[in-house]
């Protein structure tokens, strides 16, 4: 269930929003000051999926709140809902870091549609994120199918089998995993992995790929993960079945 934080000091509006959003199946929390909103958002991050924020609040204004949120690294989708509809205000809202802006009085169905839009965007990002997160160098492990790569241990484990990799093999593999799904040219790999800028024979890389395929691929002659991109280089595909 998606959680929505409503920051609104007009009690009637706040309760009306709560009622309708709850009727839509969201979990709603209402606070009536910018300070309280910041406390809720910066205290335990990630607990809200969308923030609906008023501007003319007692104490800190909505613009300040969203700017401080962003500064503190809280990037929860935020919709500003305010009576101020002048273009200067709208621009200030977006400049402060808001994702959407809606003026009061508003159409309830449109507000709900926009909230759904923000939630959908968040969902898409979330689905895309795990691969990216696992590709992160700080993350020492990457799993695809029944294979796991342990970057710092220089090991590739396929089911119960453990293949020790050399440092260079691991670097090539890591580089390809980081650029998962995208073709990587031999030249850029040489530059990025080996740090070479001369016109070295880029075919040297092919030997590494051949060896990596022997570990990773079920049938090295018909690669599923380490694919050749003709005329360019290679592409790593973590979940080849999904592409077909």
β-strand partners of 155: 150, 164
> Is residue 104 involved in binding other proteins (CB under 8 A)?
yes
> Is residue 84 involved in binding other proteins (CB under 8 A)?
yes
List the interface residues with other proteins, window 124-143 (CB under 8 A).
none
> Is residue 25 involved in binding other proteins (CB under 8 A)?
no
Q: Which stretch, 93-101, 105-113, 191-199, 228-236, contacts other proteins (CB under 8 A)? A: 105-113
How far is Cα 54 from Cα 205, in angstroms, rounded to an integer? 57
Least distance (Å) between residue 40 CB and other proteins: 19
Least distance (Å) between residue 21 CB and other proteins: 11
Q: Which of 116, 102, 111, 47 is nearest to 76 (CA)?
A: 47
> Is residue 114 involved in binding other proteins (CB under 8 A)?
no
How far is Cα 226 from Cα 217, in angstroms, rounded to an integer? 8
How far is Cα 207 from Cα 7, in angstroms, rounded to an integer? 59
- CB burial of residue 80 (10 Å; 0-12, 13-18, 19+): buried
Q: Which stretch, 107-115, 131-139, 162-170, 222-230, contacts other proteins (CB under 8 A)? A: 107-115
> Is residue 179 involved in binding other proteins (CB under 8 A)?
no
Q: What is the dihedral of CA 128, 131, 137, 139, to 10 degrees?
A: 110
> Is residue 107 involved in binding other proteins (CB under 8 A)?
yes
Name the token pair of 124: 């898409």
Out of 42, 56, 95, 162, the only residue in the binding site for other proteins (CB under 8 A) is 56
């Amino acid at each position: 269930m998606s959680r929505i934080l409503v920051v609104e000091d007009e009690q009637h509006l706040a309760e009306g929003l709560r009622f309708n959003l709850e009727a839509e199946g969201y979990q709603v929390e209402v606070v009536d000051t910018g300070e309280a909103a910041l406390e809720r958002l910066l205290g335990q991050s990630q607990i809200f999926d969308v923030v609906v924020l008023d501007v003319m609040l007692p104490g800190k204004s909505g613009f300040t709140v969203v700017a401080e949120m962003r500064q503190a690294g809280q990037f929860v989708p935020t919709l500003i809902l305010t009576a101020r509809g002048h273009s200067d205000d709208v621009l200030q809202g977006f400049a402060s870091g808001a994702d959407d802006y809606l003026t009061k009085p508003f159409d309830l169905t449109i507000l709900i549609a926009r909230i759904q839009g923000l939630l959908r965007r968040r969902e898409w990002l979330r689905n895309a994120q795990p691969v990216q997160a696992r590709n992160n160098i700080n993350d020492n492990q990457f799993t695809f199918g029944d294979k796991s790569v342990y970057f710092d241990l220089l090991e590739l484990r396929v089911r119960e089998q453990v293949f020790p990799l050399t440092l260079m093999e691991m670097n090539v593999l890591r580089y390809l995993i980081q650029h998962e799904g995208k073709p990587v040219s031999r030249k850029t790999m040489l530059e990025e992995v080996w740090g070479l800028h001369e016109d070295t024979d880029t075919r040297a890389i092919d030997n590494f790929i051949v060896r990596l395929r022997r570990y990773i691929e079920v049938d090295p002659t018909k690669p599923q993960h380490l694919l050749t991109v003709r005329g360019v280089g290679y592409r790593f595909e973590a979940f080849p079945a999904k592409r077909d």
